[in-house]
């Protein structure tokens, strides 16, 4: 098994035997990967869209992450009785800052003393301590970024495995039409506002014989002479 759930570690015979037997270990890694369903509208630097987007989780300061684990030796099955040492990583509930990415995460050992206790004096109490610290304590030193989708291929080992990529979002068909409707609505409102303004100006000018207002339908003009004529009548 690749991972072992910390909450059922002492319930599973195979894992409990390793924990009680002292087969605990600490695994130092540059970081770990987690996959998230990518938006259909997102495009990575490689030009592909959709599918699962891998993210690389690591320490901001560049130091290795220390992960709690279990190890054992198993026969390779070859005729010379060759043994192979293997290990598994313990997982726990994701910390709040990573919950958007996945509901589980490795048990990260931020406290060196807890790492030493897990290696030399493992117990269920110690397991609970390191599990709670990983899940419920916020660590600003933990960061992440999207990486190439080539990492979804287990055979891939390119130099860009941990290189950050940019994710671009393209408008969907719905967003395209919504934007068009919004633009049309704004234009109509603007035209209506201009028409209201012209109407107000025209109404104001109709009470002022000295004013001149021009609109799309007619030109209203009144001169001093016309006003004088009207007054004489």
| For residues 184-192, average pLDDT | 71
Whether 180 has a pLDDT exceeding 90, the answer reads no
The answer to whether residues 120 and 126 touch, using CB atoms and an 8 Å cutoff, is: no
Q: What is the pLDDT of residue 202?
A: 74
The answer to whether residues 126 and 117 touch, using CB atoms and an 8 Å cutoff, is: yes
Task: Give the DSSP H or E segment for 180.
Answer: helix 173-206
pLDDT one-digit tens code per residue, 84-114: 999 999 999 999 999 999 999 999 999 899 9
pTM, whole model, 2 decimals?
0.68
| Residue 229 backbone zone (phi > 0: left; psi -120 to 50: alpha; other: beta) | alpha
Kindly state the tokens that stand for 31. Answer: 């970081």
Angle at which helix 112-120 crosses helix 124-136, to 10 degrees, equals 150
Q: What is the pLDDT of residue 187?
A: 73
Q: What is the pLDDT of residue 227?
A: 46
The answer to whether residues 76 and 83 touch, using CB atoms and an 8 Å cutoff, is: yes
Strands, E assignment, the chain = 3-5, 24-29, 31-37, 42-43, 52-59, 65-75, 83-93, 104-106, 142-146, 168-169, 213-214, 219-220
Strands, E assignment, 21-160 = 24-29, 31-37, 42-43, 52-59, 65-75, 83-93, 104-106, 142-146
The DSSP bridge partners found for residue 213 are 220
Q: What is the pLDDT of residue 41?
A: 55
Work out the mean pLDDT of the chain and round it to a whole number: 81
The DSSP bridge partners found for residue 52 are 37
């Amino acid at each position: 098994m690749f991972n072992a759930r910390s909450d059922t570690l002492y319930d599973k015979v195979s894992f409990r035997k390793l924990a009680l037997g002292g087969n605990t270990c600490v695994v130092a890694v540059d970081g770990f990967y987690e996959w998230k369903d990518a938006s259909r509208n997102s495009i990575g630097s490689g030009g592909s869209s959709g599918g699962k987007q891998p993210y690389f989780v690591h320490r901001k300061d560049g130091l290795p992450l220390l992960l709690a684990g279990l190890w054992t030796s198993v026969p390779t099955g070859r005729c010379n009785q060759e043994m192979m040492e293997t290990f598994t990583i313990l997982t726990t509930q994701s910390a709040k800052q990573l919950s958007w990415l996945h509901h589980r995460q490795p048990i990260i050992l931020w406290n060196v003393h807890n790492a030493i206790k897990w290696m030399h004096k493992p117990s269920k109490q110690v397991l609970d301590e390191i599990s709670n610290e990983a899940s419920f304590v916020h660590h600003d030193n933990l960061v992440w970024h999207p990486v190439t989708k080539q990492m979804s291929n287990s055979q891939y080992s390119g130099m860009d495995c941990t290189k950050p990529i940019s994710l671009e979002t393209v408008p969907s068909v719905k967003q395209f039409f919504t934007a068009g409707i919004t633009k049309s609505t704004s234009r109509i409102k603007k035209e209506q506002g201009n028409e209201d303004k012209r109407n107000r100006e025209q109404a104001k000018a109709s009470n002022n014989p000295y004013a001149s207002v021009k609109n799309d339908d007619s030109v209203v003009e009144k001169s001093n002479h016309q006003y004088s004529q009207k007054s004489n009548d």
